[in-house]
Amino acid sequence: MNPTHAPRRGRAKTGTAVSALILFFSASSILYAVLSNPNENYFFEFRYMTVSGTAFTAIVTLISLVTALMRAKSQKAPFSRQIYYFKLCSAVTECIIAVVILLSLFPFVPDSPSLLSYDSFCMHVMIPTLAVVSFLLTPPPSALVSPLMRLTCTWMITLYAVVVITLIVTGLIPQEKIPYSFLDFNTRPINYSIYFGCFIYSFTYIISVMLTDINGRIANRRSV
């Protein structure tokens, strides 16, 4: 057996284990969140970025597991480039979700989630941590990821913003169900929402740069 195959198989097994944990915590936490509010339409749970991001991470993880099985059988790497960027988007999205907890420590942030419930702990701590680990274990498509491609980290956040804002403006999400205060355009000035949006996108890109750089350094060490 080629001695270089052992580390690769070890990383593959670690990646599979991490993916399995992500799927378990994602499914169980979303189910817990829905069942904890039996009198509320489960649809409204997905108005939160935390829940939508968790569902997105679960989908990306499931796709990556399927492609890993295809790779194990054919010794090829189908869709490896696409998987890399989807995992980057997932990891960055989960980092933003985790930052919500850090921001909640400041008194000027009215949206303060608690870590005392099972679903909140999984979605704000466990899944973000595992998503970052999963991405860092993913081989990069090339030695250098361009600054433009790093913007792929904003896919999920942009999709979430477009959908939720549309639902708020059309009234499908009533004012009392608006998930975050900066999206309440009736009580908050528009510049508040714009500033908050710019902060989120800027911070998202910074996280993307950090994660892709760390991922590249890890890949370089493996190749030595």
pLDDT digit string (tens) for 135-158? 999 888 766 677 888 888 999 999
Q: Does residue 153 or residue 39 have the better pLDDT?
A: 153
Q: Does this model's pTM top 0.75?
A: yes
Q: Say if CB 113 and CB 100 are below 8 A apart.
A: yes
> 219: Cβ–Cβ under 8 A, 6 or more apart, which residues?
139, 140, 143
Read off the pLDDT of each residue in 156-172 and give the average, rounded to a whole number: 92
The average confidence (pLDDT) of the chain is 83
CA distance linking residue 24 with residue 43, whole number of Å: 21
User: Is residue 1 predicted with pLDDT exceeding 60?
Assistant: no
Q: Would you list the DSSP string of the chain?
A: --TTHHHHHHHHHHHHHHHHHHHHHHHHHHHHHHHT-TTS-GGGGGGSHHHHHHHHHHHHHHHHHHHHHHHHHHSS-TTHHHHHHHHHHHHHHHHHHHHHHHHTTSTT------SSSHHHHIIIIIHHHHHHHHHHTSPPSSS---TTGGGGGGHHHHHHHHHHHHHHHTTSS-GGG-SSGGG-TTTS-HHHHHHHHHHHHHHHHHHHHHHHHHHHHHHHHHH-
pLDDT tens-digit map of 102-124: 766 555 555 555 677 888 889 98
Q: Tell me which of 62-71, 76-85, 125-134 is least confident.
A: 76-85
Owner of token pair 């991405």: 135
Statement: residue 82 has pLDDT above 50: yes
Whether the Cβ atoms of residue 58 and residue 64 lie closer than 8 Å to each other = no
Tens of pLDDT, residue by residue over 195-215, are 888 988 999 999 999 999 999
